[in-house]
Structure 1
């Protein structure tokens, strides 16, 4: 991975065993990737959730996408390829607001 203009790289992962294992930890250390601590099961603090929702909506709105596994895969690839950096940034750019909302709500539900 290439550092972008001196920015620190963070990784947000769920608590799945592959993410907690020794091998994953060693790779993160080797690459200089810091892991962002967050509460388990917190979609408010996980910008990938709305990105997956955006992708799913694109796939399911594709005529014939649910016809077969092959059609679903083709629709998924097309939807993913059509996503732009701006689509992604719409969600990742809101992280400061998300953190502030979760803090204000003392960890309870937020509008996100």
Structure 2
């Protein structure tokens, strides 16, 4: 599952996925709202940006990302997954456009 970013829809990528037998879900043209990992990435970014002191080196950043990823409660992931039906319905109502969900 991926959005319609150019790197995902390039002919070479589509050919490769077809060649190795990886099915690709149809995706609304302008909506990232169906991919729960995007919302998890947002949560991770907020947590890393809120750190005090902020990471100042690449190693500090890597350590912060790993630590914050480990600190995201499993319930957050479960909530995102359980929200998928409502997210899909919102995208349908928005005719494939972005939602406020």
TM-score (norm 2): 0.74
Equivalent residue of 1:35, what SS? coil
| Residues 41/60 of structure 1: CA separation in 2 closer, same or farther (3 Å cut) | same
| Residues 85/36 of structure 1: CA separation in 2 closer, same or farther (3 Å cut) | farther
2:17 pairs with one of 9, 13, 24: 24
Aligned equivalent of 1:89:
78
* Aligned counterparts of 2:93 and 2:8: Cα–Cα separation in 1: 32
Q: Which has the higher contact order (CA 8 A, sep 6+)?
A: 2
How far 1:49 sits from its partner (Å)? 1.7
How far 1:93 sits from its partner (Å)? 1.6
TM-score (norm 1): 0.69
| Residues 12/109 of structure 1: CA separation in 2 closer, same or farther (3 Å cut) | closer
Any unmatched runs of 5+ in structure 2?
Answer: none
Equivalent residue of 1:44, what SS? coil
**CA deviations over 1:39-72 (Å, ceiling 9, x no partner):** 2341222222211110011111122233222211
| Residues 26/84 of structure 1: CA separation in 2 closer, same or farther (3 Å cut) | farther
Aligned equivalent of 2:5:
15
Aligned length: 98
RMSD over aligned Cα, in angstroms? Answer: 2.3
How far 1:18 sits from its partner (Å)? 5.6
Any unmatched runs of 5+ in structure 1?
Answer: 1-10
Aligned equivalent of 1:38:
27
Structure 1 segments of 4 or more deviating over 4 A?
none
Contact 1:44 1:110 in 2 (8 A): yes
Instruction: Give the helix-richer structure, 1 or 2.
Output: 2
